Amino acid sequence: MPAHVGIIMDGNGRWAKKRGLPRSAGHSAGAKVFRRSVEDFRALGVKYLTYYAFSTENWKRPADEVDALMRLLQSYLDDIRKMAQKNTRIFFAGDKSAFSDNIIDRLEEIERVSENNDGLYLCIGLNYGGRAEILRAAKRLSAGDIQNATEDDFERLLYTSPMPSADLIIRTGGEQRLSNFLIWQSAYAELYFTDVLWPDFEKKDIIAALDWFAGRQRRFGGV
């Protein structure tokens, strides 16, 4: 069983297009799947989850799609906060300062109320980019003892800290790339790509990914 699973929730737009719906309808359907999949992973015994919800590059999308995503985020904050009641530690990876004051306050409140939980660790990438994360960590490190810093010291400065490195990355939607997700953390992750579009992603698809992972031989450079 992987400790830390990263999930690239891709394919919402194509799911909507296939149905003649606006892309925002795909994002709404995808948000429901996000909520359900967290519970599926929890039930299957995964302890650390990082979801890619909005990248540093996704601001390039048309304003109406970005607006729809921000409204969707706002409407899901209550649901996300409720997850804290199940001993879930929730935190957000990415530069929050790009969001409205109201959203920032609520994101910080969710992090605060859940910070002592330790059942499931749930990290949600919002305005997240792996390169921005590494640059931020480098800047934070340079305020300390940079010459003697170890990889562990550096990892502690990443948004995903205190979660361990990623063991498994799942990407739905058929593309075989990381798109700036968990660049540092995925150095030795197993990469699982499926053509299933994110809004169609079900518990059986999670089980298929975990089964595939169980059959991998991980060597970490050894034999």
Q: For ligand IPE, which residue of 41, 48, 54, 159 counts as binding (CB under 6 A)? A: 54
Q: Are 155 and 121 in contact (CB under 8 A)?
A: no
Q: Are 138 and 144 in contact (CB under 8 A)?
A: no
Q: For ligand IPE, which residue of 179, 200, 208, 212 counts as binding (CB under 6 A)? A: 179
Active site residue 180: no
Which residues bind to Mg ion, rule: CB under 5 A? 10
Of residues 14-43, those binding ligand IPE (CB under 6 A)? 14
Alpha helices (H) in 45-158, listed in sequence order: 63-83, 101-113, 130-141, 151-155
Which residues contact residue 36 at a Cβ distance below 8 angstroms, ignoring those fewer than 6 apart? Answer: 203
Q: For ligand IPE, which residue of 2, 4, 10, 56 counts as binding (CB under 6 A)? A: 10
182 binds, among Mg ion, ligand IPE, none (CB under 5 to 8 A by kind): none
Containing H/E element for 143?
Answer: none
Which residues contact residue 5 at a Cβ distance below 8 angstroms, ignoring those fewer than 6 apart? Answer: 41, 46, 48, 49, 50, 166, 167, 168, 169, 170
169 binds ligand IPE (CB under 6 A): no
Q: Which stretch binds ligand IPE (CB under 6 A): 11-19, 34-42, 96-104, 188-196?
A: 11-19
Look up residue 9 and give its amino acid: M
Nearest CA-CA partner of 184 in 144, 128, 145: 128
Look up residue 31 and give its amino acid: A
123 binds, among Mg ion, ligand IPE, none (CB under 5 to 8 A by kind): none
13 binds ligand IPE (CB under 6 A): yes
Active site residue 127: no
201 binds ligand IPE (CB under 6 A): no
12 binds, among ligand IPE, Mg ion, none (CB under 5 to 8 A by kind): ligand IPE
5 binds ligand IPE (CB under 6 A): no
E strand map for 56-214 = 88-93, 120-128, 168-171, 190-193
Which residues bind to ligand IPE, rule: CB under 6 A?
Answer: 8-14, 52-55, 58, 69, 173, 175, 177, 179
* Residues assigned a catalytic role: 10, 58
